[in-house]
Structure formats: structure tokens, C-alpha cells
Structure 1
Amino acid sequence: MTKAFASTGDMEKKTISFTEIGPDLYAFTAEGDPNTGVIIGDDSVMVMDAQATPVMANLVIEKVREVTDKPIKYVTLSHYHAVRVLGASAYNASEIIASEKCQAMIYERGQEDWDSEYGRFPRLFEAADSIPGLTWPTMTFKDRMTVNMGKRRVELMHLGRAHTAGDIVAWVPDAGVMFTGDIVEYHSACYCGDGHFKDWGNTLDAIKAFNPDAIAPGRGDALVGDTMVNAAIENTRDFVESTYRPIERVVARGGSLKEAWDACRAECDPKFKDYAIYEHCLPFNVARAFDEARGIDTPRIWTAERDREMWAQLQG
């Protein structure tokens, strides 16, 4: 019997948590589903990552309204993936902020990503018909941008390639808190299908250099305190390296994609098989690592057709 594609059969509801990780700073988490960060300034609110649909974004808004009635002025996109950005319209924000590279990737592959992600993991797109279309930034920057929210300053930064080429983080210096998007995960598999394995570790080092007291990761629980923050950073590093190293060796000896899959499983299953979305991510991670090890620097665009072709090849 053919194994079900990606996470099409994952329909289990997740428990939502809304955790304060610093003064007026919150992480909206849901047991390994995509997280959203909330930054409250003197007169407005910034949301980091929007959720996949306006209906799902309303769950975030409900939590925000439990702690403040200030307007949500900014929606910041850590990267371009559909599950992060397509709910942006629900916030009625004045500005939607992203890196220049993120904006370019929306133009290049935003629709294809939407189509393929919806096919892979339909539960994350509750009320998909509420999405008005692709989310377009109204404000972009190359490497760094400062947003002043009264006395609170938020530094938005592109620290390097990792989960995608356009990843950014949000650093709140008055609290020592960082919102990393999917560059850092906690007890959740890293999705590397559009990633840059050989750059990811350097980007983690750049995050670590800030010595954050707390991190809102892309998936998994909020990280509060040095021990938890450092453990998550190093665990993310281990996941990325453990995925890439065995595949790089397979490519070096001229092996096949299926051999790369087997080698990756042998390395990663003992450590990570119980992580959230591990089985979902694995085939896409293997395919991208196989490409990068063969010298393909820019991740190939995932389409619904390519998804299923790759899945059939690996299952066979």
C-alpha cells in the first residue's frame, strides 16, 4: 500500500498556548504548528508571521485582545512560505514588512508554494477560501530595518540564509528577546525544502551572538532562559547537519536520491523521529540536500506536481 502523501492525513487539532516571553512580548504556539510572535509597543502592536488563513489569524487576534487593545499596525513576515503569510489580511495592518529577498521570492514562487503547501498539509489552511490572494509586503529592506514603537525599538535583520534565502529575525533589545521564524525550532523537525544547509549554522551563530534571554521559535514551545535557548539552537544545528552530512556522502560517491533517503533516515531517525512534522519534512529535506550537495545553490521551486513525483520516487 502506498504511504499517504506528506501530512494529508494529519487532521488532529492542536492545543494553543500564548506565552509571555518578555514584558509585553508573546509567543503564540500550537504543539508544533506554525508559531506567531506578538510585540506590543507604546501605541501599537507588531505581529511576526501571520498564519496561513485569515480565519486562523483570528485565533492570534483573539489572544492579542486578551492582553491589549492597541491596534495591530505591523505584520512582519519572517519569510515567504504560505503557512506564514496568507493570513495577513485579517490584521488590517498599516504595514506588511519583509526582506527584499522575501518579496522577490513571493514574485518568483509564491503561488506555486501556496498550491504545493495546501496539498501537503491541508489542516494548516483552515477556511482556505477566506484567503484573498498572495500577501504582498508594503515595506521592504535589504539587511536591517528599525521600527520604533514609541520607546520600544524593534530591529528587523537578515542575518544570513537558513530556512530560506530571505529569512529575517526580529530583535527587541530592551528585553533581550528574539523572534527567529523557522531558523530555530524546538522539538519540531526543520523544514529544509527551500533551505541552505551550509549557511544555516553560520546564521544560528549570528543569532547566538545576541545572547537572547528568550526566543520565539518558528515551531515548538517558547524558549525562555539561557539553557532552553542554547539547547534549541544547538538542537536545530544538529538536525540540519545530521540531515545534510549523510546525503553529501551519498552524492560524493554518485549515489541515488533513494540512497540519500535511506542514509538520512539511518542518521536522523534515532534522534528525531518523534519530533513534530518529522515525517512530513523528511522527503523535502532529502530532495533539497541532494540538490545542494550536487551544487544546486538556489532551491528548485516546489510545485504540486513536483511534490508527488518526488514522493513516488522515494516511496518506490
Structure 2
Amino acid sequence: MSKAFASQGDLTDKKTSFVEIGDGIYAFTAEGDPNSGVIIGDDSVMVIEAQATPRLARKVVDCIRSVTDKPISHLVLTHYHAVRVLGASAYGAREIIMSDAARGMVMERGQEDWDSEFGRFPRLFQGHEEIPGLTLPTTTFSDHMTVYLGKRRVDIMHLGRAHTAGDAVVWVPDAEVMFTGDIVEYHSACYCGDGHFADWTSTLARIADFDPKAIAPGRGDALIGREMVGKAITATADFVASTYRPAAKVAARGGSLKQAWDAVRAECDHKFAHFAIYEHCLPFNVARAYDEARGIATPRVWTAERDRQMWAELQG
């Protein structure tokens, strides 16, 4: 390999923020690292996204304890990726919630994803020795479920495929706040390596139909105010389309993965190169776009070995 993945060289600690985005609703953000969310109910707390390790999860718990001493009763995981779920043990939640599809992906490819991401994100996996194993839910749902934190209603929904086949969003009706996982990003590249390009835009439109006052995206700053929310949804749709379109043109004429890489760079670099994790995501995004355009409907499993093979092909 001529050079390492961009994420392997990203070893600088990120500044975290804990911002109230609705009454008793918070976004934990970290300069392009995975975000988490917090919903405080009458007598307990729901957390959205666990972080990559118990060590990182305890930073979220510390922030929670700065605003409430209520117990953490529920943990919602919007999808199966290791950097989102492997810190779950730190919360002590009595319920861990995923969609049925996300649980299936843990069973099918969770260990491979863990091995792959461990190799690509050395900083996020500091303290990995504490991870007890794959995170499995205690509760799953197909399309929709509702949890009551006392009187506070929380709707957990699968609105469609996007970042993965099992994406969930979390909606708090009384505050009109949504947690979208990695379906929506803000000034951060979308990771599309397990994505569904043909469905992503329609899933974004379903999110927009809720007309949220605020969104905690998967990465990037909290989106407060409908104008900021709208801009982020539009920018995410543009990122996804701008990645898929040139790769699909190359695939249609029988071009190579390397040619697709060059075409996507030509389309995207001038618009998105300043986004967080752009260089990290790009090779995986191109590979998945190229596959989908050639009719591979289900994203192929990423393994540490496949990572290396793909990267060598793009660098060759």
C-alpha cells in the first residue's frame, strides 16, 4: 500500500460539545466524530448512539450527569456500525433498541465490521479492551415503535434505507426534535460504504416531512432552527447524488473502479473536500456507488482484507 487510510493518521483528540437542542434534549458532538443524543424524560433518560468504546461512552455519561441524575433506561442504536454500538455496556440501560434489520446486520457482518473499523480508526478504539463483545439489542422493531419516558413520548422509526438497510430515526413530538443517525450529516462526509444510493434521497424527504425544529445529525454540529435543518438535508442529498452520479456513468460504459474514483473526485472534491472525514469515506463511497450502479443491490461485507484490496486497487 502506498499510503494509509486517512483515518489511520487522524490521531488528534476532538473537542466535544453538549448542546441543548430542545427542552431536556441534548446533542453530544465531537468535531466530525460520531455524535450521541440524550432525551430526558420524567423519571429516566434515553441515549441515542453508544460510541465506539466504553471509554468514549463515559464522556457522554459525564455530560448527562452534568444536567440530570435520572437513570439511563433506554439506549437506541440507529444502525449496526461498530463506532456507534460497541460502547453500549457503559450506560447500564435496561433496554437496547435496534431495528430488526440492524440486528440482522449485527449477526451477519458485525464482527467483520468491528475488525474493519478497528483497523481504520485507531483513535476511536483506544480502550477497546473494555468492549465485552458485539452489541445485541434487547428490543427490536420493524417499522415503528413508541417508548414513553413517563409522559414524554419518543417515536423510533425506520423511514427507509439510506446509510444502511436498517437505519432508525428518533422523533420527540413534543419538542419537534429528531435524531437521524448517519442519514443526515452536517459539514461531514456521508459514509456510503454500506449505503443504498437509490433510496437515500427519498428517506431524506421523509425526514423533511416531519419539519423538525432541530436535528442531531450523525456527525457535525447540532442543527438548530428549520433553516439550518433544511440546508443540512439539502447538502446531504447533494453529497449522495454527487457521489453516485459520476460513478454510475463510469460503470455504465464498463469503466474500472479507478476510473470511477477519478470521476467522483472530479465531481466532489471542489464541493466537499473540506468536510470532516471526506478522505476517509471517499474510497468506500466510490466502491459502493460503483457496485450499486452495476446491479449489486446488497452492499458487500467490508472486511479488513477487502479494505486493503480495494485501497490497493485505487492506489495502483
TM range (shorter): over 0.9
Aligned residue number for residue 291 of structure 1: 291
Secondary structure of 2:147's aligned partner: strand
Q: Does 1:194 align with 2:184?
A: no
Secondary structure of 1:64's aligned partner: helix
Secondary structure of 2:8's aligned partner: coil
Structure 1 stretches of at least 4 aligned residues deviating more than 2 Å after TM superposition:
none
TM-score, length-scaled by structure 1: 0.99
Aligned length: 316
Equivalent residue runs for 1:163-174 within 5 Å: 163-174=163-174
Separation (CA, whole Å) in 2 of partners of 1:246 and 1:124: 32
Task: Spell out, residue by residue over 1:119-171, the C-alpha distance to the aligned partner (whole angstroms, 9 max, x if none).
Answer: 01111112011101000100000000000111100000000000000000000
Aligned residue number for residue 307 of structure 1: 307
Task: Spell out, residue by residue over 1:30-80, the C-alpha distance to the aligned partner (whole angstroms, 9 max, x if none).
Answer: 000000000110010000000000011000000000000000000100000
Deviation at 1:27, TM superposition (A): 0.2
Secondary structure of 1:105's aligned partner: helix
Aligned residue number for residue 118 of structure 2: 118
CA RMSD of aligned residues (A): 0.7
Mind listing any 5+ residue stretches in structure 2 that lack a counterpart?
A: none
Aligned residue number for residue 71 of structure 2: 71
Deviation at 1:3, TM superposition (A): 2.0
Task: Spell out, residue by residue over 1:57-112, the C-alpha distance to the aligned partner (whole angstroms, 9 max, x if none).
Answer: 00000000000000000010000000000000000110000000000000000000
Aligned residue number for residue 230 of structure 1: 230
Q: Is the 8 A contact 1:6 1:121 kept in 2?
A: no
Amino acid at match of 2:275: Y
Amino acid at match of 1:164: T
Residues 97-106 or 1-10, more deviating: 1-10
Task: Spell out, residue by residue over 1:200-240, the C-alpha distance to the aligned partner (whole angstroms, 9 max, x if none).
Answer: 00000000000000000000000000110000000000000
Secondary structure of 2:123's aligned partner: helix
Separation (CA, whole Å) in 1 of partners of 2:170 and 2:226: 18
Aligned residue number for residue 255 of structure 2: 255
Task: Spell out, residue by residue over 1:230-275, the C-alpha distance to the aligned partner (whole angstroms, 9 max, x if none).
Answer: 0000000000000000001001111000000000000000000010
Separation (CA, whole Å) in 2 of partners of 1:241 and 1:47: 31
Mind listing any 5+ residue stretches in structure 1 that lack a counterpart?
A: none
Deviation at 1:4, TM superposition (A): 1.7
Aligned residue number for residue 139 of structure 1: 139
Secondary structure of 2:298's aligned partner: coil
Deviation at 1:5, TM superposition (A): 2.2
Aligned residue number for residue 149 of structure 1: 149
Amino acid at match of 1:141: F
Aligned residue number for residue 56 of structure 2: 56
Separation (CA, whole Å) in 2 of partners of 1:5 and 1:67: 38
TM-score, length-scaled by structure 2: 0.99
Amino acid at match of 1:185: E
Secondary structure of 1:11's aligned partner: coil
Secondary structure of 1:124's aligned partner: coil
Deviation at 1:175, TM superposition (A): 0.2
Aligned residue number for residue 28 of structure 1: 28
Separation (CA, whole Å) in 2 of partners of 1:145 and 1:243: 33
Separation (CA, whole Å) in 1 of partners of 2:122 and 2:196: 26
Give the percent of matched residue pairs that are identical in Structure 1 and Structure 2. Answer: 72
Aligned residue number for residue 160 of structure 2: 160
Separation (CA, whole Å) in 2 of partners of 1:295 and 1:252: 11
Separation (CA, whole Å) in 2 of partners of 1:194 and 1:122: 21
Q: Is the 8 A contact 1:188 1:220 kept in 2?
A: yes
Separation (CA, whole Å) in 2 of partners of 1:205 and 1:122: 35
